[in-house]
Chain A
Amino acid sequence: AQSVTQLGSHVSVSEGALVLLRCNYSSSVPPYLFWYVQYPNQGLQLLLKYTTGATLVKGINGFEAEFKKSETSFHLTKPSAHMSDAAEYFCAVISSGGSYIPTFGRGTSLIVHP
């Protein structure tokens, strides 16, 4: 079985501040991990993903995430928030060797203050 926990339904930061969105997963086998972003009135779009190899993954718009197996985490970070980063962010996990159907977290709403 696989599951995802996103800590904090809302995260508020000031423009220019560090963004940290937390994601912890549960998987009995090596996982594939994803972050998606959803802007208002749009569908989810891929921000970045980890499958194998380098544990630090870089995505679009300056975001990156690090896979930490020992902590079962895949936290999303960005050094400096921009107003345009305000959106809903979803973490998702696929357990390799299974049905390859992703399980999504509940989402974290990022609020950016000027």
Chain B
Amino acid sequence: DAGVIQSPRHEVTEMGQEVTLRCKPISGHDYLFWYRQTMMRGLELLIYFNNNVPIDDSGMPEDRFSAKMPNASFSTLKIQPSEPRDSAVYFCASRPPGGAVGSPLHFGNGTRLTVT
């Protein structure tokens, strides 16, 4: 079990540039979550997928944010154009089947995004 893999670990970009964050969930997990963590707002759920289908994107802050999951082993979170207030740590998490009995989330190590 390699765990949830996120890339890059760190991203520094200039305001207005496009940013793409990547996530590989644990094999066999059917839920995938994208979170954003900041000092001010804590851990925020942005969007989650079930079986590659977006279920709830109500946490996506603006149209500048988009997420895709083209297959069970890959997801992206894109910000275009990026702004300084997007600076945060972005986490991807996956969950095995069995949410009905309280399966825990497995988190990646995050991508620290800095927009200057």
User: Which residues of A are in contact with B by a Cβ distance under 8 Å?
Assistant: 32, 34, 36, 41-46, 49, 51, 90, 94, 96, 99-102, 104-107
What separation, in Å, do the CA atoms of A51 and B100 have in the docked complex? 10
**Among A46, A90, A101, which residue has the most Cβ atoms of chain B within 10 A?**
A101
Assess whether A42 is in contact with B109, with CB atoms less than 8 Å apart: yes
Instruction: Tell me if A's interface is mostly helix, strand, loop or mixed.
Output: loop
Tier of interface size on chain B: 10 to 19
CB-CB nearest in chain A for B108: A43
Question: Cβ of B48: which chain A residues have Cβ within 8 Å of it?
Answer: 101
User: Which residues of B are in contact with A by a Cβ distance under 8 Å?
Assistant: 4, 42-43, 45, 48, 56, 91, 93, 99-102, 104-105, 107-110
* Contact A32/B102 with A101-B56, A107-B43 known, Cβ cut-off 8 Å: yes
Question: Cβ of B104: which chain A residues have Cβ within 8 Å of it?
Answer: 34, 36, 46, 49
